[in-house]
Copies of this chain bind each other. A is one copy, B any other.
């Protein structure tokens, strides 16, 4: 199986790094518009080429920003091979080629992050059974968790991922700011960060909700609102508290 990779960002780097470890895959060429990134990718492919220099491969993976996927796909100088993108929120139809697919690793990729793909869910989609099987083969070389998810479900999963990753991480950031302001080490909260995540994995999160909002403890809620000094922190506290009260009030 030969792979062409288009893109030189975080996702492209982590995919190239993983592909280099898989003996049954050949990372044939890497294309991108950032020749200054060549150093980062040198160990995976000799040089970064322009898209029009790509030669046909079994699968061409477009790992670029959402807003240029469609345009990039039209620049690929061959037809009749499988072309996939790696985005959570872009439909499969964005690919101009006749054989199209999606290869979406559901994870947040930061720079300098060590990624173990083994447990990362790989969400795949294709328009024919044959192409789905090719993608399935590739996905199983990355991870033990492969899901067939259509474009509609993938968009929803991506939205859910925003709540699970982006929004929880911002809650951590606010907690760290509160700690910093009052000379409390943020490590005091590390065990709770880990435990909260583990409980949500081991149970249904709604079964393990606790705290003043769940108890509708107006006294503590008002005290907390008075303690918060930033208006956006107050708004987040109020909005999430109102939603928790509405959610669990319904259950009574």
Q: Which residues of A contact B (CB under 8 A)?
A: 66-67, 89, 106-110, 113, 119-121, 123, 145, 147, 149, 152-153, 155-157, 159-176, 178-179, 181-186, 188-201, 204-214, 217, 219-220, 223-224, 227-228, 232-233, 235-237, 239-240, 242-244, 246-247
Contact = CB atoms under 8 A, between A and B. Distances in A.
A236 B243 CA distance: 8
A210 B110 contact: yes
Given A153-B183, A161-B189, A208-B110, A223 B173 contact: no
A196 B169 contact: yes
Copies of this chain, whole number: 2
Contacts of A152: 182
A167 B127 CA distance: 39
A108 B205 contact: no
Given A178-B159, A240-B170, A107 B209 contact: no
Nearest to A118: B191
B232 A243 contact: yes
Among the interface residues A153, A174, A246, which one has the most CB atoms of the partner chain B within 10 A? Answer: A174
A188 B236 contact: no
Given A159-B227, A195-B107, A165 B211 contact: yes
Given A149-B184, A164-B189, A211-B162, A157 B179 contact: yes
